[in-house]
Structure 1
Amino acid sequence: MTQTVHRPQWPEDFRDRLTGPLPEFRELLSAAWHGGFRPDTGDADQIPVLRNGGLPRAGTGQTAVTWVGHSTFVLQVGGLTILTDPVWSRRIPGTRQRLTPPGLAWSDLPRVDAVVISHNHYDHLDAPTIRRLPRDTAIFAPARLGPWFTRRGFRRVHELDWWESAHLGEVRFDFVPAHHWSRRTIWDTCKTLWGGWVIGGSVYFAGDTAYGDRLKQIGERYAGDLEVALMPVGAYEPNWFMKASHVNPAEAVQGFLDVGARRMATMHWGTFLLSGEPLLAPVQAARAAWAERGLPREALWDLAVGETRGFTGGA
Protein backbone atom coordinates (compact mmCIF):
# COMPACT_ATOMS: atom_id res chain seq x y z
CA MET A 1 0.00 0.00 0.00
CA THR A 2 1.47 3.35 -1.00
CA GLN A 3 0.80 6.90 0.03
CA THR A 4 -2.60 8.03 -1.19
CA VAL A 5 -2.85 11.09 -3.42
CA HIS A 6 -5.52 13.61 -2.50
CA ARG A 7 -8.31 13.17 -5.04
CA PRO A 8 -9.50 16.31 -6.79
CA GLN A 9 -13.07 15.05 -7.30
CA TRP A 10 -13.80 15.40 -3.61
CA PRO A 11 -15.58 18.67 -2.77
CA GLU A 12 -14.01 21.45 -0.74
CA ASP A 13 -16.21 20.46 2.19
CA PHE A 14 -18.81 17.85 3.08
CA ARG A 15 -21.58 20.03 4.49
CA ASP A 16 -24.04 18.42 2.09
CA ARG A 17 -23.58 15.17 4.08
CA LEU A 18 -24.87 16.74 7.31
CA THR A 19 -28.16 15.45 8.67
CA GLY A 20 -28.28 17.68 11.74
CA PRO A 21 -27.43 21.29 12.60
CA LEU A 22 -23.87 22.17 13.44
CA PRO A 23 -23.25 23.21 17.08
CA GLU A 24 -23.69 26.92 17.76
CA PHE A 25 -21.51 28.96 20.10
CA ARG A 26 -23.80 28.46 23.13
CA GLU A 27 -23.79 24.73 22.53
CA LEU A 28 -20.01 24.63 22.41
CA LEU A 29 -19.95 26.54 25.71
CA SER A 30 -22.27 23.92 27.20
CA ALA A 31 -19.96 21.13 26.04
CA ALA A 32 -16.92 22.96 27.39
CA TRP A 33 -18.62 23.37 30.79
CA HIS A 34 -19.35 19.66 31.04
CA GLY A 35 -15.90 18.72 29.77
CA GLY A 36 -13.76 21.14 31.75
CA PHE A 37 -15.71 22.65 34.63
CA ARG A 38 -18.43 20.22 35.67
CA PRO A 39 -17.98 20.10 39.45
CA ASP A 40 -19.10 16.53 40.16
CA THR A 41 -17.28 13.51 38.75
CA GLY A 42 -19.76 11.26 40.53
CA ASP A 43 -18.97 7.57 40.63
CA ALA A 44 -15.70 7.48 38.70
CA ASP A 45 -14.30 4.87 41.10
CA GLN A 46 -17.12 2.52 40.07
CA ILE A 47 -16.23 2.49 36.37
CA PRO A 48 -14.95 -1.07 35.87
CA VAL A 49 -11.30 -1.41 34.90
CA LEU A 50 -9.70 -4.77 34.13
CA ARG A 51 -6.01 -4.29 33.52
CA ASN A 52 -4.11 -7.53 34.03
CA GLY A 53 -1.08 -6.67 31.93
CA GLY A 54 -0.54 -7.83 28.39
CA LEU A 55 -2.95 -8.42 25.54
CA PRO A 56 -4.75 -11.77 25.25
CA ARG A 57 -3.92 -13.00 21.78
CA ALA A 58 -6.54 -14.29 19.38
CA GLY A 59 -6.16 -17.87 18.27
CA THR A 60 -6.17 -19.04 14.68
CA GLY A 61 -9.48 -18.22 13.07
CA GLN A 62 -10.58 -16.00 15.96
CA THR A 63 -11.35 -12.29 16.20
CA ALA A 64 -10.66 -10.51 19.49
CA VAL A 65 -11.94 -7.12 20.70
CA THR A 66 -10.22 -5.27 23.57
CA TRP A 67 -11.66 -2.00 24.90
CA VAL A 68 -8.89 0.44 25.79
CA GLY A 69 -11.31 3.25 26.68
CA HIS A 70 -13.55 5.83 25.00
CA SER A 71 -13.63 4.83 21.28
CA THR A 72 -10.28 3.03 21.31
CA PHE A 73 -10.22 -0.71 20.73
CA VAL A 74 -7.48 -3.14 19.89
CA LEU A 75 -8.91 -5.46 17.26
CA GLN A 76 -7.25 -8.71 16.27
CA VAL A 77 -8.77 -9.59 12.91
CA GLY A 78 -7.38 -11.89 10.24
CA GLY A 79 -3.95 -11.98 11.85
CA LEU A 80 -3.70 -8.17 12.03
CA THR A 81 -3.58 -5.90 15.08
CA ILE A 82 -5.75 -2.83 14.43
CA LEU A 83 -6.43 0.25 16.55
CA THR A 84 -9.63 2.27 16.34
CA ASP A 85 -9.46 6.04 17.04
CA PRO A 86 -6.44 5.53 19.34
CA VAL A 87 -6.21 7.81 22.39
CA TRP A 88 -3.64 6.95 25.06
CA SER A 89 -3.22 10.57 26.23
CA ARG A 90 -4.14 11.53 29.80
CA ARG A 91 -6.29 14.38 28.54
CA ILE A 92 -7.53 15.93 25.33
CA PRO A 93 -8.11 19.63 24.60
CA GLY A 94 -11.13 21.05 26.42
CA THR A 95 -11.45 18.31 29.03
CA ARG A 96 -9.95 17.38 32.37
CA GLN A 97 -7.73 14.33 32.85
CA ARG A 98 -9.26 11.01 31.83
CA LEU A 99 -11.35 9.24 34.45
CA THR A 100 -9.85 5.80 33.88
CA PRO A 101 -6.43 4.71 32.62
CA PRO A 102 -6.06 3.10 29.20
CA GLY A 103 -7.07 -0.53 29.48
CA LEU A 104 -3.78 -1.60 27.92
CA ALA A 105 -0.39 0.00 28.46
CA TRP A 106 1.20 1.27 25.26
CA SER A 107 4.25 -0.87 26.05
CA ASP A 108 2.04 -3.98 26.07
CA LEU A 109 0.86 -3.46 22.49
CA PRO A 110 2.20 -5.83 19.86
CA ARG A 111 3.21 -4.34 16.53
CA VAL A 112 0.27 -2.32 15.23
CA ASP A 113 -0.54 -3.17 11.63
CA ALA A 114 -3.25 -0.60 10.98
CA VAL A 115 -5.19 2.31 12.45
CA VAL A 116 -8.72 3.36 11.49
CA ILE A 117 -9.92 6.91 12.16
CA SER A 118 -13.62 7.79 12.19
CA HIS A 119 -13.26 11.60 12.13
CA ASN A 120 -11.03 14.44 13.26
CA HIS A 121 -12.51 15.51 16.62
CA TYR A 122 -9.86 15.59 19.33
CA ASP A 123 -11.31 12.68 21.30
CA HIS A 124 -10.98 10.47 18.20
CA LEU A 125 -7.86 11.82 16.50
CA ASP A 126 -5.22 12.33 19.18
CA ALA A 127 -1.96 13.75 17.84
CA PRO A 128 0.27 12.70 20.80
CA THR A 129 -0.86 9.09 20.41
CA ILE A 130 -0.49 9.10 16.63
CA ARG A 131 3.08 10.39 17.00
CA ARG A 132 3.98 7.21 18.91
CA LEU A 133 3.24 4.98 15.91
CA PRO A 134 5.86 3.82 13.40
CA ARG A 135 5.54 5.80 10.19
CA ASP A 136 5.00 2.64 8.13
CA THR A 137 1.77 1.86 10.03
CA ALA A 138 -1.14 1.57 7.60
CA ILE A 139 -3.61 4.41 8.17
CA PHE A 140 -7.24 4.25 7.02
CA ALA A 141 -8.80 7.71 7.17
CA PRO A 142 -11.87 9.60 5.94
CA ALA A 143 -11.75 11.57 2.69
CA ARG A 144 -9.48 14.65 2.80
CA LEU A 145 -7.98 13.70 6.18
CA GLY A 146 -5.00 11.92 4.60
CA PRO A 147 -2.75 15.02 4.44
CA TRP A 148 -2.94 15.33 8.24
CA PHE A 149 -1.04 12.02 8.38
CA THR A 150 1.31 12.49 5.43
CA ARG A 151 2.48 15.80 6.91
CA ARG A 152 3.55 13.79 9.94
CA GLY A 153 5.54 11.34 7.87
CA PHE A 154 3.12 8.42 7.50
CA ARG A 155 3.79 6.64 4.23
CA ARG A 156 0.88 4.18 3.95
CA VAL A 157 -2.20 6.38 4.12
CA HIS A 158 -5.48 5.41 2.51
CA GLU A 159 -8.32 7.96 2.29
CA LEU A 160 -11.81 6.66 1.62
CA ASP A 161 -15.23 8.06 0.83
CA TRP A 162 -18.38 6.35 2.10
CA TRP A 163 -18.87 2.84 0.74
CA GLU A 164 -15.29 2.64 -0.53
CA SER A 165 -12.98 -0.21 0.48
CA ALA A 166 -9.29 -0.95 0.79
CA HIS A 167 -7.34 -4.05 1.79
CA LEU A 168 -4.40 -4.81 4.02
CA GLY A 169 -3.39 -8.39 3.41
CA GLU A 170 -6.58 -10.40 3.35
CA VAL A 171 -8.53 -7.97 5.57
CA ARG A 172 -10.93 -5.51 3.96
CA PHE A 173 -11.60 -2.07 5.40
CA ASP A 174 -14.93 -0.49 4.39
CA PHE A 175 -15.71 3.14 5.22
CA VAL A 176 -19.43 3.58 5.95
CA PRO A 177 -21.71 6.58 6.64
CA ALA A 178 -22.49 8.15 10.01
CA HIS A 179 -24.68 11.00 11.24
CA HIS A 180 -22.02 13.35 12.52
CA TRP A 181 -19.69 16.20 11.40
CA SER A 182 -16.04 17.25 11.55
CA ARG A 183 -14.06 20.19 12.88
CA ARG A 184 -10.59 20.52 14.35
CA THR A 185 -10.10 24.29 14.13
CA ILE A 186 -12.39 27.28 13.52
CA TRP A 187 -11.34 27.20 9.86
CA ASP A 188 -11.94 23.60 8.83
CA THR A 189 -15.60 22.82 9.62
CA CYS A 190 -16.66 19.76 7.60
CA LYS A 191 -13.56 20.00 5.39
CA THR A 192 -12.90 16.32 6.06
CA LEU A 193 -15.39 13.47 6.07
CA TRP A 194 -16.63 11.40 9.03
CA GLY A 195 -17.99 7.87 9.26
CA GLY A 196 -17.62 4.37 10.65
CA TRP A 197 -15.73 1.26 9.57
CA VAL A 198 -16.57 -2.34 8.77
CA ILE A 199 -13.41 -4.37 9.30
CA GLY A 200 -12.94 -7.85 7.96
CA GLY A 201 -16.61 -7.97 7.03
CA SER A 202 -17.49 -8.81 10.63
CA VAL A 203 -16.72 -5.87 12.95
CA TYR A 204 -18.66 -2.61 12.69
CA PHE A 205 -17.01 0.34 14.44
CA ALA A 206 -19.53 3.19 14.55
CA GLY A 207 -17.19 6.02 15.58
CA ASP A 208 -19.50 8.90 16.53
CA THR A 209 -23.02 8.95 15.15
CA ALA A 210 -26.48 10.25 15.85
CA TYR A 211 -29.45 8.02 15.10
CA GLY A 212 -30.80 7.94 11.56
CA ASP A 213 -31.36 6.05 8.33
CA ARG A 214 -27.68 5.58 7.58
CA LEU A 215 -27.55 2.83 10.19
CA LYS A 216 -30.28 0.96 8.33
CA GLN A 217 -28.36 1.41 5.09
CA ILE A 218 -25.36 -0.29 6.67
CA GLY A 219 -27.59 -3.15 7.78
CA GLU A 220 -28.95 -3.54 4.27
CA ARG A 221 -25.44 -3.59 2.81
CA TYR A 222 -24.03 -6.20 5.22
CA ALA A 223 -27.23 -8.17 5.86
CA GLY A 224 -26.38 -10.84 8.43
CA ASP A 225 -22.57 -10.61 8.10
CA LEU A 226 -21.69 -8.48 11.12
CA GLU A 227 -20.65 -10.37 14.24
CA VAL A 228 -20.24 -7.36 16.54
CA ALA A 229 -21.18 -3.68 16.47
CA LEU A 230 -18.99 -1.34 18.54
CA MET A 231 -21.58 1.27 19.49
CA PRO A 232 -21.21 4.58 21.39
CA VAL A 233 -23.55 4.88 24.37
CA GLY A 234 -22.28 8.05 26.14
CA ALA A 235 -22.19 11.83 25.62
CA TYR A 236 -25.93 12.30 25.08
CA GLU A 237 -26.95 14.96 27.64
CA PRO A 238 -28.09 17.68 27.32
CA ASN A 239 -30.25 16.08 24.65
CA TRP A 240 -31.08 19.37 22.87
CA PHE A 241 -27.38 19.70 22.03
CA MET A 242 -26.16 16.13 21.68
CA LYS A 243 -29.00 14.48 19.74
CA ALA A 244 -27.73 15.76 16.38
CA SER A 245 -24.31 14.19 16.96
CA HIS A 246 -24.58 11.24 19.36
CA VAL A 247 -26.98 8.38 19.99
CA ASN A 248 -28.27 7.87 23.49
CA PRO A 249 -28.18 4.33 24.93
CA ALA A 250 -31.65 3.36 23.68
CA GLU A 251 -30.80 4.69 20.23
CA ALA A 252 -27.52 2.76 20.33
CA VAL A 253 -29.45 -0.46 20.90
CA GLN A 254 -31.82 0.40 18.07
CA GLY A 255 -28.82 1.22 15.87
CA PHE A 256 -27.34 -2.18 16.70
CA LEU A 257 -30.60 -3.78 15.57
CA ASP A 258 -30.60 -1.66 12.41
CA VAL A 259 -27.12 -2.75 11.35
CA GLY A 260 -28.05 -6.37 12.05
CA ALA A 261 -25.04 -7.44 14.12
CA ARG A 262 -25.11 -10.45 16.43
CA ARG A 263 -23.48 -8.70 19.40
CA MET A 264 -23.06 -5.13 20.64
CA ALA A 265 -20.04 -3.78 22.53
CA THR A 266 -20.45 -0.48 24.39
CA MET A 267 -17.97 2.38 24.06
CA HIS A 268 -17.66 6.20 24.29
CA TRP A 269 -18.29 6.35 28.02
CA GLY A 270 -16.29 6.16 31.26
CA THR A 271 -13.14 7.85 29.93
CA PHE A 272 -13.58 11.59 29.31
CA LEU A 273 -16.09 14.07 30.72
CA LEU A 274 -17.87 15.32 27.61
CA SER A 275 -21.52 15.64 28.63
CA GLY A 276 -24.04 15.97 31.43
CA GLU A 277 -25.38 12.48 32.16
CA PRO A 278 -24.19 10.67 35.34
CA LEU A 279 -20.99 8.74 34.73
CA LEU A 280 -22.48 5.25 35.00
CA ALA A 281 -25.77 6.12 33.28
CA PRO A 282 -24.68 5.21 29.71
CA VAL A 283 -23.97 1.56 30.43
CA GLN A 284 -26.84 1.25 32.92
CA ALA A 285 -29.30 2.69 30.40
CA ALA A 286 -27.90 0.47 27.64
CA ARG A 287 -28.50 -2.60 29.81
CA ALA A 288 -32.05 -1.45 30.53
CA ALA A 289 -32.82 -0.80 26.85
CA TRP A 290 -31.33 -4.18 25.98
CA ALA A 291 -33.52 -5.97 28.53
CA GLU A 292 -36.63 -4.07 27.39
CA ARG A 293 -36.06 -5.43 23.88
CA GLY A 294 -35.78 -8.98 25.23
CA LEU A 295 -32.32 -9.41 23.70
CA PRO A 296 -30.00 -12.18 24.95
CA ARG A 297 -27.83 -10.89 27.79
CA GLU A 298 -24.72 -12.69 26.54
CA ALA A 299 -24.87 -10.71 23.29
CA LEU A 300 -24.38 -7.39 25.12
CA TRP A 301 -20.67 -6.83 25.63
CA ASP A 302 -20.76 -4.11 28.29
CA LEU A 303 -17.00 -4.30 28.57
CA ALA A 304 -14.84 -3.15 31.43
CA VAL A 305 -11.96 -0.90 30.43
CA GLY A 306 -9.24 -3.37 29.39
CA GLU A 307 -11.58 -6.32 28.89
CA THR A 308 -11.23 -8.64 25.86
CA ARG A 309 -13.91 -10.76 24.23
CA GLY A 310 -13.90 -12.62 20.97
CA PHE A 311 -15.61 -14.88 18.50
CA THR A 312 -14.62 -17.43 15.91
CA GLY A 313 -14.24 -16.13 12.38
CA GLY A 314 -14.07 -12.65 10.90
CA ALA A 315 -11.46 -11.80 8.28
Structure 2
Amino acid sequence: MKLKYIEHACFRLILNDKVIYFDPYKIPKDSEKADIVLASHDHYDHLDKQALKSIAKDSTIMVLPKTCSLDFKNIKKLSVGEMIEIEKLNISAVAAYNPNKRFHPKSNQWLGYIVSDKKINIYHAGDTDLIPEMKDLKNIDIALIPVGDTYTMGFNEAADALNTFNPKNAIPMHHWGKNLNEFKKICERKGVQSNIIILKEGE
Protein backbone atom coordinates (compact mmCIF):
# COMPACT_ATOMS: atom_id res chain seq x y z
CA MET A 1 0.00 0.00 0.00
CA LYS A 2 1.28 3.46 -0.93
CA LEU A 3 -0.45 6.73 -0.15
CA LYS A 4 0.51 10.16 -1.48
CA TYR A 5 -1.01 13.48 -0.45
CA ILE A 6 -1.34 15.58 -3.58
CA GLU A 7 -3.20 18.72 -2.51
CA HIS A 8 -6.24 19.88 -0.55
CA ALA A 9 -8.40 16.71 -0.27
CA CYS A 10 -6.71 14.85 -3.12
CA PHE A 11 -4.74 11.66 -2.46
CA ARG A 12 -3.32 8.93 -4.64
CA LEU A 13 -3.60 5.44 -3.21
CA ILE A 14 -1.91 2.38 -4.67
CA LEU A 15 -3.51 -0.74 -3.24
CA ASN A 16 -3.18 -4.25 -4.70
CA ASP A 17 -1.40 -2.70 -7.69
CA LYS A 18 -4.43 -0.52 -8.47
CA VAL A 19 -4.11 3.27 -8.69
CA ILE A 20 -6.91 5.11 -6.92
CA TYR A 21 -7.40 8.86 -6.64
CA PHE A 22 -9.61 10.55 -4.07
CA ASP A 23 -11.14 13.95 -4.89
CA PRO A 24 -8.93 14.81 -7.89
CA TYR A 25 -7.54 18.34 -7.74
CA LYS A 26 -4.42 19.93 -9.23
CA ILE A 27 -2.83 16.60 -10.05
CA PRO A 28 0.58 16.90 -11.76
CA LYS A 29 0.35 16.04 -15.45
CA ASP A 30 2.95 13.25 -15.28
CA SER A 31 1.06 11.34 -12.58
CA GLU A 32 0.13 7.69 -12.87
CA LYS A 33 -3.07 6.94 -14.75
CA ALA A 34 -6.02 5.99 -12.59
CA ASP A 35 -7.78 2.67 -12.34
CA ILE A 36 -10.40 4.18 -10.03
CA VAL A 37 -11.31 7.77 -9.16
CA LEU A 38 -13.54 8.57 -6.18
CA ALA A 39 -15.14 12.01 -5.89
CA SER A 40 -16.96 12.94 -2.70
CA HIS A 41 -18.94 15.66 -4.50
CA ASP A 42 -18.71 17.83 -7.59
CA HIS A 43 -17.26 21.10 -6.27
CA TYR A 44 -14.27 22.17 -8.38
CA ASP A 45 -11.77 21.61 -5.56
CA HIS A 46 -12.88 17.97 -5.24
CA LEU A 47 -13.61 17.17 -8.88
CA ASP A 48 -11.15 19.12 -11.00
CA LYS A 49 -12.00 18.20 -14.58
CA GLN A 50 -8.54 19.09 -15.90
CA ALA A 51 -6.94 16.93 -13.24
CA LEU A 52 -9.34 14.11 -14.06
CA LYS A 53 -8.49 14.39 -17.74
CA SER A 54 -4.78 14.10 -16.99
CA ILE A 55 -5.15 10.80 -15.11
CA ALA A 56 -7.97 9.16 -17.06
CA LYS A 57 -7.51 6.20 -19.39
CA ASP A 58 -10.09 4.22 -21.34
CA SER A 59 -10.66 1.78 -18.49
CA THR A 60 -10.74 4.29 -15.61
CA ILE A 61 -13.82 3.91 -13.43
CA MET A 62 -15.27 7.08 -11.88
CA VAL A 63 -17.28 6.76 -8.66
CA LEU A 64 -19.67 9.58 -7.76
CA PRO A 65 -22.62 10.29 -5.47
CA LYS A 66 -25.91 9.54 -7.21
CA THR A 67 -26.81 13.22 -6.96
CA CYS A 68 -23.83 14.30 -9.08
CA SER A 69 -23.37 14.15 -12.84
CA LEU A 70 -20.33 14.06 -15.09
CA ASP A 71 -19.59 13.41 -18.75
CA PHE A 72 -17.31 10.39 -18.37
CA LYS A 73 -17.13 6.98 -20.04
CA ASN A 74 -17.27 4.62 -17.04
CA ILE A 75 -19.29 5.90 -14.08
CA LYS A 76 -20.57 4.14 -10.99
CA LYS A 77 -22.94 6.08 -8.74
CA LEU A 78 -23.48 5.33 -5.07
CA SER A 79 -25.76 6.38 -2.25
CA VAL A 80 -24.94 6.35 1.46
CA GLY A 81 -24.78 2.77 2.70
CA GLU A 82 -24.07 1.19 -0.67
CA MET A 83 -20.97 -0.83 -1.52
CA ILE A 84 -19.51 -2.02 -4.80
CA GLU A 85 -16.56 -4.19 -5.70
CA ILE A 86 -14.15 -2.83 -8.31
CA GLU A 87 -10.88 -4.55 -9.21
CA LYS A 88 -11.26 -6.82 -6.14
CA LEU A 89 -11.52 -3.78 -3.85
CA ASN A 90 -14.60 -3.01 -1.79
CA ILE A 91 -15.73 0.61 -1.99
CA SER A 92 -18.31 1.70 0.57
CA ALA A 93 -20.18 5.01 0.50
CA VAL A 94 -20.69 6.77 3.84
CA ALA A 95 -22.35 10.00 4.87
CA ALA A 96 -20.55 13.36 4.59
CA TYR A 97 -22.34 16.63 5.36
CA ASN A 98 -22.55 19.77 7.47
CA PRO A 99 -25.51 19.76 9.89
CA ASN A 100 -25.67 23.55 10.17
CA LYS A 101 -24.00 24.94 7.05
CA ARG A 102 -25.92 25.55 3.85
CA PHE A 103 -23.27 24.54 1.30
CA HIS A 104 -23.03 20.86 2.27
CA PRO A 105 -26.46 19.83 3.59
CA LYS A 106 -27.34 16.22 4.26
CA SER A 107 -29.98 16.43 1.52
CA ASN A 108 -27.23 16.66 -1.13
CA GLN A 109 -26.33 13.06 -0.31
CA TRP A 110 -22.64 13.65 -0.88
CA LEU A 111 -20.19 11.02 0.26
CA GLY A 112 -17.14 9.85 2.06
CA TYR A 113 -15.61 6.53 1.03
CA ILE A 114 -14.07 3.48 2.64
CA VAL A 115 -11.73 1.49 0.39
CA SER A 116 -10.86 -1.99 1.58
CA ASP A 117 -8.93 -4.98 0.31
CA LYS A 118 -10.15 -6.98 3.36
CA LYS A 119 -6.76 -6.43 5.01
CA ILE A 120 -6.71 -2.64 5.29
CA ASN A 121 -9.53 -0.09 5.49
CA ILE A 122 -8.92 3.47 4.29
CA TYR A 123 -11.52 6.15 4.98
CA HIS A 124 -11.69 9.41 3.02
CA ALA A 125 -14.17 11.60 4.85
CA GLY A 126 -14.97 14.10 2.09
CA ASP A 127 -16.32 17.48 3.19
CA THR A 128 -17.96 16.82 6.52
CA ASP A 129 -18.42 17.92 10.08
CA LEU A 130 -18.58 15.55 13.03
CA ILE A 131 -21.81 13.66 12.34
CA PRO A 132 -23.67 10.89 14.20
CA GLU A 133 -22.96 8.37 11.44
CA MET A 134 -19.27 8.38 12.37
CA LYS A 135 -19.99 6.20 15.38
CA ASP A 136 -20.72 3.39 12.92
CA LEU A 137 -17.23 3.50 11.39
CA LYS A 138 -15.32 0.39 12.45
CA ASN A 139 -11.79 -0.94 12.02
CA ILE A 140 -10.45 2.05 10.11
CA ASP A 141 -6.70 1.76 9.57
CA ILE A 142 -6.17 5.16 7.94
CA ALA A 143 -8.58 8.09 8.16
CA LEU A 144 -8.16 11.07 5.82
CA ILE A 145 -10.05 13.81 7.62
CA PRO A 146 -10.77 17.48 6.85
CA VAL A 147 -9.67 19.95 9.53
CA GLY A 148 -9.78 23.38 7.87
CA ASP A 149 -13.04 24.63 9.42
CA THR A 150 -14.38 25.93 6.09
CA TYR A 151 -17.47 23.79 5.41
CA THR A 152 -15.70 21.01 7.32
CA MET A 153 -14.53 20.22 10.82
CA GLY A 154 -12.02 22.45 12.53
CA PHE A 155 -9.22 21.15 14.75
CA ASN A 156 -11.32 20.57 17.87
CA GLU A 157 -14.20 18.93 16.06
CA ALA A 158 -11.86 16.70 14.05
CA ALA A 159 -10.20 15.54 17.26
CA ASP A 160 -13.64 14.72 18.67
CA ALA A 161 -14.41 12.79 15.48
CA LEU A 162 -11.26 10.71 15.91
CA ASN A 163 -12.34 9.90 19.46
CA THR A 164 -15.69 8.79 18.03
CA PHE A 165 -14.40 6.06 15.71
CA ASN A 166 -10.76 5.60 16.78
CA PRO A 167 -8.87 4.91 13.55
CA LYS A 168 -5.37 3.50 13.90
CA ASN A 169 -3.91 6.38 11.91
CA ALA A 170 -5.27 9.78 10.88
CA ILE A 171 -4.00 12.17 8.23
CA PRO A 172 -5.38 15.74 8.27
CA MET A 173 -6.40 17.25 4.93
CA HIS A 174 -8.45 20.16 3.54
CA HIS A 175 -6.59 22.34 6.03
CA TRP A 176 -6.13 25.57 4.04
CA GLY A 177 -2.52 25.90 5.19
CA LYS A 178 -3.27 25.91 8.90
CA ASN A 179 -0.66 24.82 11.44
CA LEU A 180 -1.19 21.08 11.68
CA ASN A 181 1.17 20.76 14.62
CA GLU A 182 -1.46 22.69 16.58
CA PHE A 183 -4.01 20.08 15.50
CA LYS A 184 -1.68 17.37 16.78
CA LYS A 185 -1.42 19.14 20.15
CA ILE A 186 -5.21 19.39 20.40
CA CYS A 187 -5.48 15.68 19.69
CA GLU A 188 -3.01 14.97 22.49
CA ARG A 189 -4.97 17.17 24.92
CA LYS A 190 -8.22 15.42 24.02
CA GLY A 191 -6.73 11.96 24.47
CA VAL A 192 -6.93 10.89 20.84
CA GLN A 193 -5.41 7.42 20.53
CA SER A 194 -4.93 7.53 16.76
CA ASN A 195 -1.46 8.05 15.35
CA ILE A 196 -1.57 11.52 13.74
CA ILE A 197 0.47 11.65 10.55
CA ILE A 198 1.14 15.06 9.03
CA LEU A 199 1.90 14.93 5.32
CA LYS A 200 3.04 17.88 3.27
CA GLU A 201 1.45 18.31 -0.13
CA GLY A 202 3.37 16.13 -2.53
CA GLU A 203 4.42 13.59 0.10
Q: Secondary structure at the match of 1:139?
A: strand
Residue in structure 1 matched with residue 133 of structure 2 by the alignment:
214
Equivalent in 123, 143, 146 of residue 232 of structure 1 = 146
Q: Using the alignment, how far apart are the partners of 1:206 and 1:141 within structure 2?
A: 14
1:66 Cα deviation (Å)? Answer: 0.7
Contact map agreement 2:166 2:193 (CA 8 A) in 1: no
**Maintained 8 Å contact 1:87/1:126:** yes
Q: Relative to 1, partners in 2 of residues 1:199 and 1:171: Cα closer, same or farther, differing over 3 Å?
A: same
How many angstroms does 1:182 deviate by?
8.7
Q: Is residue 159–residue 192 contact of structure 2 (8 Å, CA) maintained in 1? A: no
Aligned to 1:158: 76
Instruction: Give a deviation string over 1:238-293, Cα, whole Å, max 9, x none.
Output: xxxx5xx31111211221222231010010024xxxxxxxx433x13311212213
2:197 aligned with 1:197, yes or no?
A: no
The answer for unaligned runs of 5 or more in structure 2 is none
* Aligned-pair Cα RMSD in Å: 2.4
The TM-score normalised by the length of structure 1 is 0.57
Which whole-Å deviations, capped at 9, do the CAs of 1:41-92 have from their partners, x for residues lacking one?
xxxxxxxxxxxxxxxxxxxxxx22110010000011222110000111xxxx
The 10-residue stretch of structure 1 (189-198 or 286-295) with the greater mean CA deviation from structure 2 = 189-198
The structure that is strand-richer by fraction is 2
Matched, 1:67 2:12: no
Give the secondary-structure state (helix, strand or coil) at the position aligned to 1:247. Answer: coil
Indicate the SS of the match to 1:176.
strand
State the shift of 1:166 in Å.
0.9
Structure with a larger share of its residues in helix: 1
Shift of 1:212: 2.1
Deviations 1:215-250 (A, max 9, x none): 113x2xx2xx2101000111x2xxxxx5xx311112
Cα distance change on mapping 1:292 and 1:123 into 2, 3 Å: same
Whether 1:87 and 2:25 are equivalent positions in the alignment is yes
Work out the percentage of aligned pairs sharing the same amino acid: 22
Contact 1:204/1:228 (CA < 8 Å) preserved in 2?
yes
The separation in 1 between residues aligned to 2:185 and 2:171, in whole angstroms, is 15
CA 1:125/1:113 → structure 2, altered by over 3 Å: closer, same or farther?
same
Larger radius of gyration between Structure 1 and Structure 2: 1
1:175 is aligned to 93
Q: Is the 8 A contact 2:95 2:111 kept in 1?
A: yes
Distance 1:79 1:124, change over 3 A: same
CA deviation after TM superposition for structure 1 residue 135, in Å: 4.3
CA–CA distance in structure 1, aligned partners of residues 107 and 183 of structure 2: 33
Which residue of structure 1 aligns with residue 41 of structure 2? Answer: 119
Higher relative contact order (CA 8 A, sep 6+): 1
1:56: which partner in 2? none
- The residue type paired with residue 306 of structure 1 is G
2:146–2:173 CA contact under 8 A, matched in 1: yes
1:78 counterpart = 2:78: no
Match of 1:311 in 2: none
Give the secondary structure class of the aligned counterpart of 1:256. helix
Counterparts of 2:102 and 2:5 in 1: how far apart (Å)? 24
1:257 equivalent to 2:163? Answer yes
Where does residue 52 of structure 1 map in the other structure?
none
Using the alignment, how far apart are the partners of 2:197 and 2:125 within structure 1? Answer: 15
The Cα of 1:296 is off from its aligned counterpart by 5.9
Which SS does the other structure have where 2:170 is aligned? strand
Deviations 1:140-183 (A, max 9, x none): 110132xx32xx3x222110010101111210110001123897
